[in-house]
Structure 1
């Protein structure tokens, strides 16, 4: 039963971002939610609590210049992995993944990681 609940929370999470509907987040964020964003690299920023996480995600959803595109979702029990691409208007994009944990129908943890520009590893010879 937990995987179904988690899948529904993730469906609504993505719906809020794709439809630019910030209000959907009000019922998705747990009071003790912890989120780590991708910026600034390499460690990101840690956000703790309902208000700060709600504000962060609502701002993302309200943004009509940038676009959050879901590439793949995997749900197992109380956890979900979302592979995504974030488009910066006309200035390119970044790919990443969010590791999310759900408890009692709300997001309690969301850890985001992204591919960032850097030095390429040498190819094996």
Structure 2
């Protein structure tokens, strides 16, 4: 297998969410991946390792009450910036905008740092596993 470019990896990552196909995440996450979510404020949850990151993102993909929409993707070498919107309900105030700063090494995501314009807590699919 040839090594995927940063653009290919991020495109497939985003398609997992827009197509609601968690299987697209397979083989995209590095063993030592670190992900920091936008919640809880102010620093977000830190998730480490392939299995934990894949589980967290799969819960988000599978949450039919929410919708992640990439608005713009900027790739520069091993870095990518994803400007996104996230709708978590039907109401006019049930969405946020944010950005993920991603790093790809050897065709796999090694870092994903999430930041958003969030005034308070936003219910995330991953939190439902804790209940």
Question: TM-score, normalised on structure 1?
Answer: 0.89
Distance (whole Å) between structure 2 residues aligned to residue 82 and residue 71 of structure 1: 7
Give 1:8-47 correspondences, 5 Å limit.
8-47=8-47
Alignment partners' CA distance in 1, 2:50 and 2:14: 18
Aligned residues: 115
Aligned residue for 2:5, secondary structure, equals: helix
What does the per-residue CA deviation read over 1:70-91, in whole Å, with 9 as the maximum and x for residues that have no partner? 1111000000000000001213
Instruction: Please give the root-mean-square deviation of Cα atoms over the aligned residues, in Å.
Output: 1.2
Gaps of at least 5 residues in structure 2 are 121-131
**Matches of residues 1-125 of structure 1 in structure 2 within 5 Å?**
5-91=5-91, 92-117=94-119
After superposition, the C-alpha distances for 1:55-98 in whole angstroms (9 at most, x for unaligned) are 00111111111000111110000000000000012132000000
Unaligned runs of 5+ in 1: 119-125
- Give the 3-state SS of the residue equivalent to 2:16 in structure 1: helix
**Cα distance in 1 for residues equivalent to 2:65 and 2:19:** 13
1:12-56, Cα deviation, whole Å (9 max, x unpaired):
000000011011111110000000001100000101101100000
- Most deviating of 18-27 and 78-87: 18-27
Which 4+ residue blocks in structure 1 deviate beyond 6 angstroms?
Answer: none
Match of 2:26, SS state, is: helix
